[in-house]
Amino acid sequence: MAVTIKAVFLDKDGTLVDDIPFNVEPRRITLRNGAGAGLRLLARLDYRFFVVSNQAGVALGHFSETDLEHVGHRLSDLLFREQVELAGFYYCPHHPEGTRAQYALACLCRKPMPGMLLTAAREHDIDLASSWMIGDILHDVEAGNRAGCRTVLIDNGNETEWKLGPRRVPTRIASDLYSAAIQIAGEDGPPR
């Protein structure tokens, strides 16, 4: 029997890093305030970290999947500097209104669908019921809820639609990643 792990799935833009639209320039990718401290706290609780990010810029022709490889390396480096490890970087390159035909489609990986989380769970033996999805819009919350995770909405002003529904109610609401980590730690007990 495989040993399962617990994960924190992180939306990238606006949650983990500063939100600069369609940014794939590694030097311009920086962690949000409190992200490092929050991730260190969660690492002490034995969580592994996975970025799950919609990247419609591929479908819209703004950048390539190769550019996203550099983004993944930059994220790994930023987390390494905070003494935590990025266990996986998953992204959805699709968008139904894309201008690049091979990416212009509706899919199961684009949040609010749970495809990226389910793929990561399969590939890394993740226990989804023991895991969390943290994001700054309700599509992130819905993806986490659909996958069977607990969810945190980072209420930083990035959610603009506020279309509520049964799958779009977060387990917790926090102002930033550090506040989210404190709430998760409160549910899981003290770190080792």
The catalytic residues are 11, 13
Residues in Cβ contact with 174 at an 8 Å cutoff, skipping those fewer than 6 apart? 152, 153, 154, 155, 180, 182, 183
For the chain, what's the residue count?
192
Structure tokens at 70: 């550099």
